[in-house]
Structures are given as structure tokens and as C-alpha cells.
Amino acid sequence: MSTKAPAEGVPTRVIDDTLKDTEFGEMILHHKALVVGVFTAAVVIAVGYGLFTHFAQKKIADRAAKIYSYKSAYLDHFKKKDPKEAAAAKKEGESEAPKVTVTAEQIMANVAPLISEYSGDQTIIPVVLETYLALKDNGHQAKGLELLKKIAGGLKSNQVTNFYVISALAAALEDSGDYKTAIEHIEGLTKTGKVLFEEKLYLDLGRLYGLVGNKDKARESLEYLVKNHPTSEMTKLAKLYLTQWK
């Protein structure tokens, strides 16, 4: 009966004997399957993390490209140019770019897919707020309000971005005459733990409660501001409002 010739290279028996020379080696010898499994898992995790990082970076790049495309093709042409900046550019001899007519309807149609795709993503908020201001400056307050309502519905728990979006929404609601809903949103911001720009929130509450005829709540809000922020510039305004409801 013939025996199979050993494979070229170091025989398995020699490897096993070498592993027995140390405690760690002996542990590997007795738990080869476990060691190989752990090593394999480590490789899979490393490769998986690399792929995740690659696709995460690609996703960020794709999002940035879409935002830039929207801004350069639509928003930048829709925004009103600052008269001082335009005059300064003309004085320096800069060539004026050809005028491109962009309508509010085009703005809404092209920003909507961004909001839909990246709803809840904090990085989309700056361009949405910029779009809102452009719509407002061009006399399209209703469309600006519609835009803010869309983005506010998908906000995540980032206190800073939430503050700016909800504050803008409350201001837009006030402009539209919906004081009650504006009050509800500002009241919500005062109940978020550490309140940002508390002085402004309570000044706005005092004004808005005054506009709806609730003088008691108006006084309460303004007196809170005067008591808790005595050195604030907002407090000077609050005192002026309080003289109206004595």
C-alpha cells in the first residue's frame, strides 16, 4: 500500500512542534479554527469599513454636486444682487455675467428633489434657508413658507439647526398673519433644554401674544426677559413693549 508523498515546503508536523514551543503558540495550535475565524472576521471588518467609508464619501460628494448644481443653475440667478456689491464690481471693471431668468416655480421644482432625497440631513438646511430668503426677497413669501414647512417636518435632533429653521418658520408664519402657529413654534423652542437666544424668543413671544390680544401672556413673556436678562439689548425693547400693556 503506497503512501501519499508529503507536500513540498515545511511539513505540518514541524509547524505543530514549533507552535508547542510557546504558550501562545500552543494556544493557536489547540484553537486553530477559532484563531483563523477571528483573523477572517478582522479582515472582513477592515474591508467592510473601507467599503463603507468609500460609499459614505461618495454619497457626500454626490450630495455636494447636486447642491452646487442647483445653486449655480437656479438659485444664484434668482437671488437679488446687493446694489453695493454690483456697483463695486462695476467700478472694478468686472464683466457682468449674462442675465438668466429663473422663476419662483423653477426654484421650487428644483429644490424639492433635494429636500425629498436628503430630508433629515442637516447639510441640506443652509441651502434651503438661502432659498427661503431669496423667495422672500423676490416677493414670494407663500412659497418660502411652503418650503420651510417641508424642511421642518424632517428635522433631526440638532438643536442649532432646529433653532434656525423653526425661527425662520415662525417669522414666515408671522408675516403671513398666522400668529397662533408662530407662537406654538416659538413656545416649542423654549422647551428644548438649553434654550438658544432665549432673549429673542421671549421678546418674540411678547410681541406675538400682544398681536393676538393676550396681554397677560405678553406681559409674562416680557417680564421673564427683563428679570432673567437685565443687561440684554432685547430687554430695552421689552420695557418699551411693557409700557403699552400697563
- pLDDT of the chain, 246 residues: tens digit per residue: 544 454 444 454 544 554 455 554 454 445 444 444 444 444 444 444 454 454 457 777 888 889 999 999 999 999 876 555 545 555 555 555 555 589 999 999 999 999 888 877 777 888 889 999 999 999 999 999 999 998 887 766 577 888 888 999 999 999 999 999 999 999 999 987 778 889 999 999 999 999 999 999 999 999 999 999 999 999 999 999 898 766
CA torsion through residues 112, 113, 116, 121, sign: negative
Answer for the pair 176, 141: CB distance below 8 angstroms, yes or no: yes
Q: Alpha helix (H) ranges present in the chain?
A: 12-19, 23-30, 32-70, 76-78, 83-91, 104-117, 125-137, 141-152, 159-176, 179-189, 198-211, 215-228, 233-242
What's phi and psi for 230, nearest 5 deg?
-65, -25
Q: Where are the domains of the chain?
A: 19-80+100-178, 197-246
User: What is the spatial distance between Cα 3 and Cα 90, in angstroms, rounded to a whole number?
Assistant: 94
User: What is the spatial distance between Cα 75 and Cα 102, in angstroms, rounded to a whole number?
Assistant: 8
DSSP type of residue 154: T
pLDDT at 59: 74
| Whole-angstrom Cα Rg for the chain | 32
pLDDT at 90: 54
pLDDT at 122: 77
Cell reading at 208: 406675538
Instruction: Please state whether the predicted TM-score (pTM) of the whole model is above 0.85.
Output: no
Q: Which of 122, 132, 130 is nearest to 163 (CA)?
A: 122
pLDDT at 19: 43
246 burial class (0-12, 13-18, 19+ CB within 10 angstroms)?
exposed
- CA 118 vs. chain centroid, Å, equals 10
